[in-house]
A and B are shown apart, each in its own frame.
Chain A
Amino acid sequence: MPEAGLLAILPMNELVFFLNKVVIAGLIIGSVYALGAVGVTLIFGILRFAHFPHGDMMTAGAFVALVLLWMFPGVGAAVGLPTAFVLMPIAMAVTALLAVGLDRMFYRPMRKSGVKPVVMVMTSIGVMLMMQGLLRLFAGTGTRQLYADTDDKDIYRIPLGGRDLVITEPQLMLFATTIVAVVALHMFLTRSRMGKAMRAVSDNPDLARVSGISIDHVVRTTWLIAGALAAAGGTLLALDVTLKPDLSYNIILPIFAAAIVGGVGQPYGAIAGGLLVGFSETLAVFNWSVLLRPMRPYLPEFIEIPAKLAFVPTEYKIVVPFFILIAVLIWRPTGLFKGRVNN
């Protein structure tokens, strides 16, 4: 049968390897970027400044989850899910309040005195440095697990002709959380009075004000949402890998790339941008030799397949969002979705 023949020559092993390394890994890291980029883009849309401490806010959210884990170590085992995941809604609430507190303490005084945008950027950088310092002060510099001893990290293997498609429990949770968050955010922005008011302020703050929309309420809601999503992204990332105070170093650039690729101020763009940056990273570091090797018999003799053939070595992964950022800024400064860079 021709189909069986075709299947037989398909390098299933290598394809599954590709799915694991590129598709699943890209989806996972892309989801983390999306959860962060939505916050960055909402804050920019409403407050018109780049919130650099966003990665640290994600890290802080994960540390809140860690503290909760110490306080209530048994709850996960009781329901059969990782403790940190069960406690994540509380961590989200705490981080949301923390975000509002940061605004009250640092950003609002600046806003009220009507500072120039560049001063706002400097404030944002200052808060970032402060948060990094505080995190190290309280958490040290070591690496921690967000898994309690009583939790078990389930790994699901779906056999696909030889090699297994592998997906871990935290990855599934991350993916599920992202979908829930995106749907909830969409409903909120398009159906609720406050969500529409947020879009109105992002569209035209002066007109929002003369319509009687309370800018203070909108700003507070923005921080609550951004803080909660940051905590979710941080906690789930830490569950998938490990929890370190400098978690934010590796994610803040891709998050900003995602927000800018998606068009600053566009929540849906930020989600698409997060996934795009995630896939670009995994595609760029993928070892393409793996897929070429099965073609060996069909390729001319003189072509040698190197042991490693990737666009970027894994340790330089961070250049990928950097290049995306530069490319977008050069060719399409408003992002792939029309963002509000110009007004």
Chain B
Amino acid sequence: MTTLDTSAKPFSLTKFVPGDFKSDLKPIWCPGCGDFGVVTAITRALANIARPPHEIAFVSGIGCSSRIPGYTTAYGFNTVHGRSLPIAQGIKLANPELLVLVASGDGDGFSIGGGHVAHAVRRNIDITYIVMDNQIYGLTKGQLSPTSSRGRKTVTSSFGSLEDPVNPLLYVMGYGASFVAQGTPADMNGLAKIIEEGIRFPGFAFINVQSPCVTYGMEDQQLKAHKTNMKSLEAMGHDASDRAKATELARAYGTELYTGVLYRNPNPPTTYGQGVTERQEAFKKSAVPRHEILNRFKPTN
């Protein structure tokens, strides 16, 4: 039996190839699923980042997309539906040295786990949040998702959805995210590049990946359609430091497929983790030895 570890490779190596981050676990995905491209893009980004797999924690929730950590050689944590963000934040705060990645789906990330997104954004903990947005519940076989368009017919909306979708890009922009990007496996180079940039960004980074579900997805959401529809922000000459413009472009979610970095805060704000480290350093001096902690309770009048 083989294992997920990469100890076969000496860790003194400073150069990595994408294969170093690919496990030998066989994906359960349907052939042609967009998520294949996403895991490839992630391993390509990680090879460029060049942190050894054991220094990476890769967290996810539940869904087809959330299977991703197991297909990498990182320390994976495939948690419960919707809760990957709080768990990832705990990991990063407990060990700031780690590179922490989070993978999620549109349902995992914006329905059941939607409440956590705002707090992850405003806390600005240095993690990278990759949502595979296929506008459908894949794992549970094709139900309506929070990013499915109004009127969409699925097995739980037989007569068409009666609600407007969430706009993930606008959502995180609204809470003040400092790094917001969108990609599709239809443009593998572009996708790997924004993932790498997101990881390198010092703070919370959000990447929405339009990752087609070939089994339950709409036709206009497949790779073929992406290839013709996608518009590269770079080619458009978009200035990613322009927050107002980025917000405007974000509004086009659902009608336009922009790819690349929508917004990158030119002055990244202090991260939560930096605040924690500073406080720990400052308070260290005033610690009494742990075994003397009960002296706190000596009465004084």
Do A and B assemble together? Answer: no
